[in-house]
Structure 1
């Protein structure tokens, strides 16, 4: 595969944010902590509404994201990718991590490695190589009380091919308000490659 510049390749990196947080099992009769680190009450039957079909299982997670929380985090995520502003850094948790093998394969980062291992690494990237991608969310839904699933698309760059991807935002409320703790994102890497000026040959061609 050919790339126009290493800067173009690395500009992929802020689309990915991190792997989904592992779901904790309830301890017998006492509750446990959820992926965001919040104490779970086994008697809690709360649930969250969303714009999609996702449903929160309140017996496993608390507190739950509500629809306004989901909208706030999704809009913050879109702004981060489309037009970075330091004011949105408050929506990134201190233990934020970013992972995407779609990005890693194009940026020549070892597969399975964090694309950005920290909040500061992500912010530093945005200061030097902002992505400015025209991200459009076509679906958003709670997939648990502390995770949001997004389907998005973006058309940009040299080839103007539509890139379509899936992102899972992991959320936490440790700071007293909801923040993005993780994003796991995968997308059409061949279309992305063409849009940044790269090329590829399919088998049989």
Structure 2
């Protein structure tokens, strides 16, 4: 728990240093900032998208500028790291429609958050392999929100997700073997 308290302090200091406003207030430039109800809305939207995809849930995602970044998922998919796995809304929706994640995502902790970003820690214990033992997967997501003035509601602008990729890979049918422990030669100790 000390780690999360420290993380919250660092995030608060970082937000203050970058000019981000405190929780629930709008900044001096008229930009709408998240309030607690907005955080709850976006976190529930994220969880809903991952738990059970349905076409209307595409409305939770911003039409312009959306991306989903995850080196963990890129690694599992056998793709190079360092770029979004889904560079836009269309790619994300197409993937979810064809092969939805439908993971039993459980939100463990929400926070810290600032004017437009929310940190979420989650777990999911699942398997997509008949007869396999489900392994727990733990991850962290940063949900960036943007306020859509025409809809008068918040949308998911971007997702940045990292997770226990080895368990995720095994839960989806991948096979991993532990490397053998290295043998270390211990020098003889002589006493004088």
Q: Name the counterpart of 2:22.
A: 47
C-alpha contact 1:159 1:194 (8 A) present in aligned 2:
no
Q: Name the counterpart of 1:69.
A: 38
> 3-state SS of the aligned residue for 1:103?
helix
2:81 aligned with 1:111, yes or no?
yes
Q: Give how far 1:155 is off.
A: 0.4
CA shift digits 1:65-85 (9 cap, x unpaired):
111111111111111111012
Runs of 4+ in 1 over 6 A off after TM superposition: none
Q: Name the counterpart of 1:170.
A: 144
Q: Name the counterpart of 1:180.
A: 156
Q: Name the counterpart of 1:135.
A: 105
Task: Please report the TM-score for the alignment, with normalisation by the length of structure 1.
Answer: 0.70
C-alpha separation in 2, matches of 1:62 and 1:81? 29
Distance of aligned partners of 1:66 and 1:112 in 2 relative to their CA distance in 1, 3 Å threshold: same
C-alpha contact 1:65 1:145 (8 A) present in aligned 2:
yes
Distance of aligned partners of 1:60 and 1:100 in 2 relative to their CA distance in 1, 3 Å threshold: farther
Q: Which has the higher contact order (CA 8 A, sep 6+)?
A: 1
Aligned length: 159
Task: Please report the TM-score for the alignment, with normalisation by the length of structure 2.
Answer: 0.74
C-alpha separation in 1, matches of 2:29 and 2:142? 18
Q: Name the counterpart of 2:48.
A: 79
C-alpha contact 1:73 1:180 (8 A) present in aligned 2:
yes
Considering fraction of residues, name the structure with more helix: 2
2:124 aligned with 1:149, yes or no?
no
Larger CA Rg, structure 1 vs 2: 2
Q: CA RMSD in A?
A: 2.5
